[in-house]
């Protein structure tokens, strides 16, 4: 997955379809691992959101994971932070 992720920083320019699909597949892979290692998953989502900051689907996906794995409050705090970033 890492070899296909070319941009590691935030930019207003839209990501290409290949980059977005790579992030989706990478997140799918980490979410499917058993046992699920939340710290590893969080780190990947944080990296992903630096690059995909303008894509709501990734914010909502991360919020869903936080809600399932920790608490609804964590998901709300993430989304509140998204509104101000």
7-52 per-position pLDDT tens digit: 665 667 889 999 999 999 999 999 999 999 999 999 999 999 999 9
pLDDT score for 10 = 66
What's the whole-number mean pLDDT along residues 52-74? 96
Q: CB-based contacts of 25: which residues, under 8 Å, 6+ apart?
A: 1
pLDDT score for 8 = 63
Alpha-carbon gap, residue 84 to 23, rounded angstroms: 23
pLDDT at 6 over 90: no
- Eight-class DSSP state of 36: -
pLDDT score for 9 = 55
Q: CB-based contacts of 56: which residues, under 8 Å, 6+ apart?
A: none
Q: Are 41 and 30 in contact (CB under 8 A)?
A: yes
Alpha-carbon gap, residue 21 to 76, rounded angstroms: 26
pLDDT score for 56 = 95
């Amino acid at each position: 997955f890492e070899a296909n992720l070319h941009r590691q920083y935030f930019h207003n320019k839209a990501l290409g379809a290949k980059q977005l699909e790579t992030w989706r597949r990478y997140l799918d892979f980490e979410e499917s691992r058993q046992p699920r290692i939340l710290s590893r998953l969080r780190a990947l989502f944080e990296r992903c959101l630096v690059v995909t900051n303008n894509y709501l689907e990734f914010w909502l996906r991360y919020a869903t994971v936080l809600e399932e794995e920790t608490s609804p409050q964590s998901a709300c705090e993430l989304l509140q932070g998204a509104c101000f970033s």
